[in-house]
């Protein structure tokens, strides 16, 4: 770990310091350029130094940034309206927050409050944030001390036949879920899940499993929360994973990352048709909830994606990107997969562990030398690619060429 430069040592930072960013590229303090395949940390979806974000921030500086938490601004109200529209819910009610962790905490806080139950069900390899509570419902739950009580983990159905999302026989995972729910429904307030498990290996949940899970939860008085911090706001070529009609609607949807275009803005939207908000007696009072700046950024983000028909572009270009990955036909490109601008491949078929971490780290280091900013997940086995929504086919071809040069380093 780097212990210099006053940095709290929480990551293995590389010996590269970024100075500026423009579109899909960032430049380091030595003047070297890197193609950023992950739109920052999957957030800067209009690209770096985006005119869309600049417009929202300038409007915020000229009008309103921060309001008394107990008051609303016109900017926040407009952002909430725009967010409600893209949620696809007939009767949406939302709150704007900052990080994804804050938003998942909020959704669970109110799910527990409304159901008057204290337990949470999640998938064993899910990820919902880094704060104490949601980390206790994520794949790192074992590292939370003391362990959270009433944290239930169901085995995730990990469909490895990526060409056929509903081909997987999820009956054993569904049976485990049923057992947990039936034995503990008096405790479980909510089932929180990522429609595409990201950190746990980039697996889309089989739609059939999700329909059964939502039905089971409804029958057992349990809310379903989709954590769409990664999949939401255009990433899959739709506003959310379910707005194209392929998945059942949840009771709450959480957004983050892309919603803020690179600035910390997140949200929770309740589906008022299934969530009785009249029952709320619990207040929530945090410094940056429903801020003017958040509302302005959300509105600009939604307007930009809409006016530009970005969703269609993400769907079409995403398919082309996937085809380019598939055409690589290299032993280090296993199971290329994904939808829209959320793509991945496995470096190896080996089980995730110490060796895959070493391989993933080396891959990312070599990528940096080739001018590529890349990230691994799933203990180094899987490479995630979540580019900004303006990434061009030309830039993706450039990436493929650099990837080929990178593979030569492993020969």
Ligand X SMILES: Cc1ncc(COP(=O)(O)O)c(C=O)c1O
Binding site for ligand X (CB under 6 A): 99-101, 104, 127-130, 194, 198, 227, 229-230, 256
CA distances from 170 to 158, 196, 205, 213 (A): 8, 15, 10, 11
Query: Beta strand 342-346 with 25-28: parallel, antiparallel or unpaired?
Result: unpaired
Q: In angstroms, what is the minimal distance from the CB of 199 to ligand X?
A: 6
DSSP 48: B
Q: In angstroms, what is the minimal distance from the CB of 42 to ligand X?
A: 7
d(CA 102, CA 99): 5
Q: In angstroms, what is the minimal distance from the CB of 196 to ligand X?
A: 9
For residues 96 and 403, which CB has a smaller minimum distance to ligand X in the complex? 96
For residues 386 and 406, which CB has a smaller minimum distance to ligand X in the complex? 386
> Residue with CB nearest ligand X?
100
Angle between helices 74-87 and 292-307 (to 10 degrees): 40
Query: Beta strand 25-28 with 33-36: parallel, antiparallel or unpaired?
Result: antiparallel
For residues 69 and 131, which CB has a smaller minimum distance to ligand X in the complex? 131
For residues 384 and 402, which CB has a smaller minimum distance to ligand X in the complex? 384
Q: Which residues of 170-201 are buried (b: 16+ CB within 10 A; e: fewer)?
A: beebbeebeebbeebbebbbbbbbbbbbbbbb
DSSP assignment of 227-260 equals E-TTTTTTTTSSSSTTTTSSS---SEEEE-GGGG
Nearest CA to 405 out of 376, 369, 364 is that of 369
Q: In angstroms, what is the minimal distance from the CB of 194 to ligand X?
A: 5
Q: In angstroms, what is the minimal distance from the CB of 257 to ligand X?
A: 6
Q: In angstroms, what is the minimal distance from the CB of 253 to ligand X?
A: 12
352 forms beta bridges with: none
For residues 82 and 228, which CB has a smaller minimum distance to ligand X in the complex? 228
For residues 192 and 406, which CB has a smaller minimum distance to ligand X in the complex? 192
């Amino acid at each position: 770990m780097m212990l210099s430069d006053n940095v709290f040592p929480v990551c293995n930072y590389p010996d590269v310091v970024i100075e500026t960013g423009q579109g899909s590229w960032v430049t380091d303090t030595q003047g070297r350029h890197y193609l950023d395949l992950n739109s920052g940390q999957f957030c800067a979806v209009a690209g770096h130094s985006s005119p869309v974000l600049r417009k929202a921030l300038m409007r915020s500086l000229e009008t309103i940034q921060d309001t008394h938490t107990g008051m609303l601004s016109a900017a926040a109200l407009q952002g909430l309206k725009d967010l409600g529209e893209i949620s696809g819910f007939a009767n949406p009610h939302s709150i704007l927050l900052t990080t994804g962790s804050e938003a998942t905490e909020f959704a669970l806080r109110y799910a527990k409050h409304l159901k008057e139950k204290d337990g949470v069900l999640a998938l064993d390899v899910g990820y919902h944030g880094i704060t104490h509570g949601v980390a206790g419902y994520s794949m790192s739950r074992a590292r939370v001390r003391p362990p959270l009580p009433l944290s239930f983990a169901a085995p995730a159905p990990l469909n490895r036949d990526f060409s056929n999302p509903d081909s997987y026989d999820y009956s054993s995972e569904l049976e485990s879920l049923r057992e947990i729910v039936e034995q503990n429904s008096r405790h479980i307030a909510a089932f929180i899940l990522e429609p595409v498990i990201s950190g746990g290996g980039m697996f889309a949940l089989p739609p059939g499993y999700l329909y059964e899970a939502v039905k089971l939860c409804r029958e057992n008085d349990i809310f379903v929360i989709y954590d769409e911090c990664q999949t939401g706001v255009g990433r899959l070529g739709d506003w959310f994973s379910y707005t194209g009609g392929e998945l059942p609607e949840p009771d709450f949807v959480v957004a983050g990352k892309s919603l803020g275009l690179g600035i910390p803005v997140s949200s929770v939207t309740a589906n008022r048709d299934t969530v009785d908000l009249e029952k709320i007696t619990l207040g929530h009072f945090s410094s940056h909830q429903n801020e003017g700046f958040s509302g302005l950024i959300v509105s600009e983000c939604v307007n930009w994606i809409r006016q530009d028909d970005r969703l269609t572009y993400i769907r079409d270009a995403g398919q082309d990107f996937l085809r380019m990955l598939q055409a690589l036909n290299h032993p280090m490109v296993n199971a290329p997969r994904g939808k829209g601008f959320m793509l991945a491949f496995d470096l190896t078929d080996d089980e995730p562990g110490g060796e895959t971490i070493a391989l993933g780290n080396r891959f990312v280091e070599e990528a940096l030398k080739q001018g590529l900013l890349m990230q691994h997940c799933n203990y180094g086995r899987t490479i995630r690619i979540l580019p900004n929504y303006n990434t061009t086919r030309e830039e993706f071809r450039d990436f493929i060429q650099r990837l080929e040069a990178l593979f030569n380093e492993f020969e």
